[in-house]
């Protein structure tokens, strides 16, 4: 029932768009035409031209995500456990986090050139802070009873780190996966859009330069589809990784 409703709303919106552009209410130069947008997308996939761009954007996203997550976890654990260093670095961390980091894109472009590195760098700065703050929170909110319990079981400091702090921190990282994967993707695309030679962001940039609004919209559609697929994969991963956490819909199943 709800699927049908959603389908109808989707069709209605597309139809309005199509009618608007055909009748001239929506100028095709600014709004494109749904059937032409579809044609561009089909053409991309038929010719196979899209794959190299898609591969680049996804590779940048994955690298930014991996790098940001690994270093974010490491930094979060380190500062979460050494209160003195955390206090010392506090103003710098606050400043780095408060800065609108997207604006670093041109700087990364100058530093790392137009290749993939500058895209990974921007995605990384976005992901890193999300993960870092989640880990910091996770470490600080470890239950003292669990901690003491594990210490009484004879755990060494290293074992505490591995068997208590890390899982506690990772649960926060996993529950912010949707945001951090999304941010890696956004970082990659924005950096591409601001200057690149490949990637979906690059296709949009090119088309915009030629006032080819159909291709711009086609790029946006591909990006959205790609983001939805990534989000779906994250959703599956999340379910696997967080089996031990109570879920709102079934708090207990015994």
Partner 1 sequence: MTEVLAFDDVGVVFRDAHGGAYTAVGGATLSVGEGEFLSVVGPTGCGKSTLLNLAAGLLSPSSGAVRVFGEPLRGINHRAGYLFQADSLMPWRSALDNIAAGPEFAGVPRALARQRAEEWLVRVGLAGHGQKYPHQMSGGMKKRAQLAQTLVIDPPILLMDEPFSALDVQTRQLMENELLALWQGSRKSVLFITHDLEEAISLSDRVVILSAGPATRPIAEFTIDLPRPRDVAEIRMTPHFLQLQERIWAVMREEVLKAYKQGAAA
In the complex, least distance from residue 162 CB atom to partner 1, rounded to whole angstroms: 10
Count of helix runs (H) and strand runs (E) in the chain = 13, 0
Q: Applying CB under 8 A, does 103 fall inside the site for partner 1?
A: no
In the complex, least distance from residue 172 CB atom to partner 1, rounded to whole angstroms: 12
Residue 137: which residues within 8 A CB-CB, separation 6 or more?
A: 172
CA–CA dist 185, 183 (Å, integer): 5
DSSP lists the bridge partners of residue 247 as 250
Rounded to the nearest 10°, the torsion over CA 132, 134, 140, 146 is -120
In the complex, least distance from residue 179 CB atom to partner 1, rounded to whole angstroms: 21
Kindly tell me which residue out of 240, 244, 248, 249 binds partner 1, with binding defined by CB under 8 A. Answer: 244
Nearer to partner 1, 84 or 252 (CB): 252
Question: Which 118-157 residues touch partner 1, going by CB under 8 A?
Answer: 143, 145-146, 148-156
In the complex, least distance from residue 200 CB atom to partner 1, rounded to whole angstroms: 37
Q: Which stretch binds partner 1 (CB under 8 A): 37-45, 122-130, 216-224, 245-253?
A: 245-253
Q: Applying CB under 8 A, does 240 fall inside the site for partner 1?
A: no
Nearer to partner 1, 3 or 145 (CB): 145
CA–CA dist 167, 161 (Å, integer): 9
Q: Applying CB under 8 A, does 239 fall inside the site for partner 1?
A: no
Nearer to partner 1, 150 or 227 (CB): 150
Q: Applying CB under 8 A, does 232 fall inside the site for partner 1?
A: no
Kindly tell me which residue out of 10, 167, 232, 235 binds partner 1, with binding defined by CB under 8 A. Answer: 167
Q: Measure CA 173 to chain center.
A: 13
Distance between start and end Cα atoms, the chain: 32
Nearer to partner 1, 81 or 170 (CB): 170
Applying CB under 8 A, the site for partner 1 has a residue count of 26
Q: Applying CB under 8 A, does 161 fall inside the site for partner 1?
A: no
CB 199 within 8 A of CB 188: yes
Q: Applying CB under 8 A, does 159 fall inside the site for partner 1?
A: yes
How many other C-beta atoms lie within 10 A of the C-beta of residue 151?
Answer: 14
Q: Give me 163's structure tokens.
A: 């068997």
Nearer to partner 1, 26 or 155 (CB): 155
Residue 1: which residues within 8 A CB-CB, separation 6 or more?
A: none
In the complex, least distance from residue 135 CB atom to partner 1, rounded to whole angstroms: 15
CA–CA dist 19, 34 (Å, integer): 10
Nearer to partner 1, 3 or 251 (CB): 251
Written as one string, the DSSP assignment of 4-64 is HHHHHHHHHHHHHHHHHHHHTSS-HHHH--HHHHHHHHHHHHHHTHHHHHHHHHHHHHHHH
CA–CA dist 27, 66 (Å, integer): 43
Point out which residues bind partner 1 (CB under 8 A): 143, 145-146, 148-156, 159, 163-164, 167-168, 171, 243-246, 251-254
């Amino acid at each position: 029932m709800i699927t049908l409703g959603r389908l109808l709303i989707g069709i209605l919106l597309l139809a309005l768009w199509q009618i608007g552009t055909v009748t001239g209410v929506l100028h095709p130069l600014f709004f494109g035409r749904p059937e032409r947008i579809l044609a561009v997308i089909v053409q991309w996939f038929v010719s196979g031209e899209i794959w190299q761009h898609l591969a680049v954007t996804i590779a940048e996203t994955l690298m930014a995500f991996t790098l940001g997550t690994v270093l974010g976890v490491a930094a979060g654990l380190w500062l979460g456990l050494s209160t003195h260093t955390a206090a010392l670095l506090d103003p710098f961390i606050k400043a780095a986090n408060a800065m609108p980091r997207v604006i670093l894109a041109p700087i990364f472009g100058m530093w790392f050139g137009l290749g993939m590195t500058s895209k990974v760098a921007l995605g990384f700065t976005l992901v890193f802070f999300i993960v870092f703050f989640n880990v910091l929170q996770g470490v600080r909110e470890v239950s003292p009873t669990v901690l003491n319990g594990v210490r009484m079981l004879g755990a060494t400091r290293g074992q505490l780190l591995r068997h208590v702090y890390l899982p506690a921190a990772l649960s926060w990282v996993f529950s912010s996966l949707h945001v951090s994967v999304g941010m890696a993707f956004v970082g990659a695309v924005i950096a591409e859009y601001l200057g690149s030679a490949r990637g979906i962001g690059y296709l949009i940039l090119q088309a915009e330069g030629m006032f080819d609004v159909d291709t711009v919209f086609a790029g946006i559609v591909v990006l959205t589809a790609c983001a939805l697929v990534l989000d779906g994969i994250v959703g599956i991963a999340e379910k696997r990784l967080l089996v031990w956490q109570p879920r709102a819909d079934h708090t207990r199943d015994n």
